[in-house]
Chain A
């Protein structure tokens, strides 16, 4: 069964460094998302991406964050200058969406980002 994959599974970085989290969405999906979950808290939406542009973003997704689909399969989240409060699990998700197609969002296993 097709699944969303994410790399790396765990990333440790120092405050102020740039990190890039990578995702391979399910191949026939058109919408891509990033969510995060701080330990013990709820899953929070960051951004959605469709047709090579951001379609929606939350207040969390400030100028420190950017997303890109550099090729036909990868979807990346970049954090330019990490802060301690960016420590969280980051989940990539994708959905098919279209006329008569289901709206389910399928999540990857996550990247645990630890900022020290």
Chain B
């Protein structure tokens, strides 16, 4: 059956360190993968999209990698700050304009 797993439910790191979040999937052939940030009681906020033919994408302190052989995406936040504390969701899409399938999310806590 199709499955998306985000490596852990919670990740605690110190300010200034790099946070690395993992998204693994099975029995999917996604065309693209998106990462979102979700704060409690709020809607997901789009961060980055990476396509199946791209290895890496960057935006400011954020970096996403996509390995279709390993069926894995890594999401990095460098020089993390307490304001980065939130739940981060990965979502797979198999075709433009169709459903996104979400993982359960990893809750990141950055302490000062």
Contacts and interface: CB of A to CB of B under 8 A. Distances in A.
A107 B43 contact: yes
A41 B105 CA distance: 9
Contacts of A91: 43-44
The range of chain A's interface size is: 20 to 34
Interface residues of B, number: 23
B32 interface: yes
A50 B44 contact: no
A42 B104 contact: yes
Interface in B40-92: 41-46, 49, 89, 91
A89 B104 CA distance: 15
A103 B32 contact: yes
A109 B93 contact: no
14 contacts: A33-B99, A42-B102, A42-B103, A43-B44, A43-B89, A48-B98, A91-B44, A97-B96, A103-B49, A103-B96, A104-B46, A107-B44, A107-B45, A110-B41
